[in-house]
Chain A
Amino acid sequence: MSANPTPRHPHPSPCRFIAGLVAVLLLLTGCDPSDPSAGKKSPAVPTAAPGGVRTIGVAFETLQTEFWVAGFDKLKSECKARNITMLEAVADGDAARQFDQVKNFIQRGVDGIILVPKDGKTVIPMIRAANAAAIPVVLYNRPADPTDARHTTVAPDNAAITRETVDYLISVAKRTGRKQKAMILLGDLSDVNALGRRDGFEAAVQAAGDAVDVVARVPTDWNQEKALAGVQSAFQAHPDIGLIFTSSDFMFPSIKSVLSSLGKWRKYDQAGHVILGGFDGDATAYQLMTEGYVDATGVQDVYWEAEQAIQAIVDARAGKAVPARIDDRGFAITQENLKQLAPRMWGAKQPLRP
């Protein structure tokens, strides 16, 4: 079946049909169909010239926020610029589905796989499957748990960027001359990004001594409705909260809705302003900053991360050594440096959804 001499034929060739039956039989006898040699032999799969990269499989866990869409679009345009075919897949939060998508990439003989995993644990068997097929894997923006499976992670240094952002928020708080009550909206704590941001926040608070008092740590599981309810009940318990940090910008609308109803939605230079900070640097955050409501947000350098992810695969294919971890140092954008840094903020170029 590997040497099918006929050119592309509109009818199913008996060879292929038999191949299908054989596949099922092989499967039933316990032969692993993801055996890399099976994929390589197949004539229908384009194989890369040695060292070159022709196709990359990109599997995202979700495309439900602008952040992921921005990264996804950048990967697409970067692939196009480098004349690489990009195969795409979205798992909608289902790890089993993501595994099938990765297997599918492997089967189709891609030269590299870029993954946004569902979580740090379920991705490990996927990486192993790619390792077995000698296909380089890059985890984009979300690292795996410690494992011996070989891969490269391109991700923000969440703790460092958050620390920088929260340091700025605290400096604003100090200027008010009062000890401020603070609140953090936590992410899904099975996500290391969420953990890193929490750690950065706690470190900054620790270092500030008694400048702020953290009175609420609201779990959101990356869910806007949950965030809304959490912020509401926090304000019921502590009506005088003066500083809020959200682990992701996409939860600003929830905060806005609560603050507006309490009459506390004020610009940074107005009296009664609640100090606001976030993380991601999305379009909402950009707009809220230009309007003056948000003080600062930690920006991930999405474009740089996307370029690095593809570069890592190209390097790996070329036989160069690729580090296991590529840190995006990002930056904190604040009311003070907004003008200078906006061109590097991904959210500043995104069309804002009404």
Chain B
Amino acid sequence: MKGDTTPPTSGGRETRPPAVSFEDIEKGFFGVPVLKRVRFSAQAGRITGLVGENGAGKSTLMNLLGGNLQPDSGQLRVNGSPYAPRGSGDARAAGIAFVHQELNLFPNLSIAENLFLTEFPRAAGGLPWIDRRKLRDRARHLLDQVDLAHDPDTPVERLPPGERQLLEIARALGAQAHLLLLDEPTTSLSVRECARLFDLMHRLRTRGIAMVYISHALGDVLNHCDDLVILRDGEVVGRGPAAEFTQERLVSLMVGRELNQLYPVRTPPPVPADSRPREPLLDVRGITQPGRVRDISFRLAPGEILGVAGLMGAGRSELARILFGLDPHASGEIRVEGRPLEGGPRRRIREGLAFLTEDRRHEGLCLEASVADNLALVTLGQHARTPVRWLDLPGIGTAVARIRDALQVSTRVTDAQPVRTLSGGNQQKVVLGKWLLSEPRILILDEPTRGIDVGARFEIYQWIHRLADRGSGILVISSEIEELIGLCDRILVMRQGELSGEFPRGEFNREQILAAALHTSTS
């Protein structure tokens, strides 16, 4: 290989140059440094875990590799040769492939078409039309490598999220990639789908492919990575073989302080089940919507944090949307403090409901609007005076400033900044903040900590506790059973649109909850 002429850069552990190396990379935006002399490398045939809080600089590193951004100084090397990409074409040519958190597939196209979108196999003789048979055969071959048993002509929209992730990897293999960058690939995957993904990663490792794995799920990182690199505020604060780290050490390196617990202790302790007030805050009776949910009934007491566990597609988000009036239900009844709940979101907000959706980019925020405008959106009406609904701008400003301080949104963020430019954690704080301003009595949270770093998670949990202590009822939907166990007073489990289990705090058991979520008629 060409790399023979360049000296090895990684401490001489191997004679072969690393698959990719960052050498004193610096990058800043408008004078604010985002990466400070970042130096690490990833070896072929190993999985390198890259962890850090949101805003630590991971995305910028990926953008440098992908050619979307150029470093201010420092040198990138791929297989020892200098690498200065100017766009995604260069990255592809260098054998680098990305598997993103937001999938880059076209749902309306078939598996085969998605696999070969950039280079369709041509017909014999170089004629400019597509050889359908060759397309199918090559697709079949790639699908075998990632253990997907679908017909290559299946439209991608019919695949569950986990299999789409595998398909992305198949696409990377099809492009002869020797370096795979996996950015939060597990956020939308079920437990089983994750296991399949990790299996595949281990197999690819034996084929000599280098992988950089970015995730907030520290347990996965410790279990499946060979080397770790920890970033904080644009600096590498720790690196080495994964065996040298524990979860506690990772967390303290990432946040720069000791975090004794992942979940805050709840004070005062939750209300015992038997002494709950007779009138529930929220009373859901027999909600049914064909194809979505069936006969869901439960009660939510004031001050209670109620978790909803289940797999993707079990009907949890669908239930939340029905409760908030976004989707209809065919039968059943929803009551708030005894009064029936009707109408769209606007009327339900007036009844004291709030809904933090799972899709914060498309449903939670106006990404291009400012931080202040996003925070104020829900409660604008309270600051509008009749007859022309003239806004009390100073009043709004005060409210926004108050909630911003309370939420500890990063001080680098200004009120006028578009919320798109914020890190995931800060974005989620803005969504939470706009609902906190409305002082909700019933808060529905759908995957409130997805894609959010440890520090911000802790703060969001604290807010959930605080609201519950004030007497609000909280409904938390999460795919992380640990999170529900750490946070909730009671956990409901959903499976295939129905309630399949209920666990009070004393009886929390990870395996039993998982079993209730998974169980089919086999047992």
Quick check: do A and B touch in the complex, using CB within 8 A?
no
Which A residues are closer than 8 A to B by beta carbons?
none
